[in-house]
Amino acid sequence: MTEVAANLQAVRHIVAVASGKGGVGKSTTAVNLALALAAEGKGVGLLDADIYGPSIGLLLGVPEGTQPRVLNGNTFVPVPALGLKTMSMAYLARPQTPMVWRGPMAGGALIQMLTQTDWGELDVLVVDMPPGTGDIQLTLAQKAQVAGAVIVTTPQDVALLDARKGIEMFRKVHIPVLGVVENMSLHICSNCGHAEPIFDTGGGARVAEEYQARLLGALPLDRRIREGDAGRPVVSADPDGELAGCYRSIARALLEELDQLTGDAPEIVIE
Digit-coded pLDDT (tens) for 72-102: 888 999 999 999 999 999 898 766 566 666 6
Query: What are the structural domains of the chain?
Result: 11-259 (3.40.50.300)
Better-scored residue on pLDDT, 191 or 92: 92
Taking 80 as the threshold, does the pLDDT of residue 182 lie above it? yes
**pLDDT score of 2:** 40
Buried b (16+ CB within 10 A) or exposed e, 43-79: bbbbbbbbbeebbbbbbbebeeeeebeeeeeebbebb
Out of 65-69, 94-98, 168-172, 265-269, pick the least confident.
Answer: 265-269
pLDDT category of residue 229 using cuts at 50, 70 and 90: confident
Q: What confidence tens digit (pLDDT) does each residue in 106-154 have?
A: 888 899 999 999 999 999 999 999 887 778 888 898 888 999 999 999 8
* Mean pLDDT for the stretch of residues 176-202: 77
What type of residue is 239?
Answer: P
Taking 60 as the threshold, does the pLDDT of residue 267 lie above it? no
Q: Do 213 and 250 touch, CB atoms closer than 8 A?
A: no
Nearest alpha-carbon partner for 129 in 117, 141, 115, 118 = 141
